[in-house]
Amino acid sequence: MASYNRVILMGRVGTDPESKDVNGKTMIRFRLATSNVQFNPQENRYETIGTDWHTIIMWGERAERASQSIKKGDLVLVEGQLRIREWTTQDGQKRVSVEVVADTYRKIMSGRGASQQEVQEEAMEHPFEMSGEDTDYIDPVLRNNLSSDDLPEGSTEDDLPF
């Protein structure tokens, strides 16, 4: 039986990436907050109803580029694989860590300027549009600037999972 391990997250970077050298390869780690939002029709606005925190890991040249471009507060889309690590501490306690090992990333918006509410609304209304300054940080694989015209025939932006 075939299986598939793929994760796509879009959220705010909670910590500046921590970089370290592991066996001659660069590795970075940072935390990403994803908000669960829903529209409140009485107030005519989106409201955050919960936040989940994810640990993101990147390796190699991509990690080096990301460490220079991603900062705390940035809105980032990452794609990769879910990895679960288990270990026992020196005092015998079992620990479990769930991480996303990202192989692609896209900086959607810089953390400067816009409020969280404005960013969420903008991202929901225009998920494929980016400001000019932010396109410098896009991973080359994702540099194609998708638009709603690129959706499969018969699909709408409402069919997107974000």
64 vs 151 pLDDT, higher one: 64
**Exposed/middle/buried for 78, CB within 10 Å: 0-12, 13-18, 19+?**
buried
Residue 161 lies in a domain: no
Question: Rounded CA gap, 16 and 10, in Å?
Answer: 16
* pLDDT surpasses 60 at 135: no
Residue 37's domain is classified under what CATH number? 2.40.50.140
User: For the chain, what is the HEC assignment?
Assistant: CCCCCCEEEEEEECCCCEEEEECCEEEEEEEEEEEEEEEECCCCEEEEEEEEEEEEEEEHHHHHHHHHHCCCCCEEEEEEEEEEEEEECCCCCEEEEEEEEEEEEEEEECCCCCCHHHHHHHHHHCCCCCCHHHHHHCCHHHCCCCCHHHCCCCCCHHHCCC
Q: How many domains does the chain have?
A: 1
pLDDT per residue as tens digits for the range 95-120 = 999 999 999 999 988 876 555 555 55
Res 2: pLDDT: 85
Domain assignment present for residue 76? The answer is: yes
Q: Which pLDDT belongs to residue 49?
A: 86
Tell me, yes or no, whether 1 lies in a domain: no
Q: Which domain holds residue 27?
A: 7-154
Residue 70 has pLDDT above 60, yes or no: yes
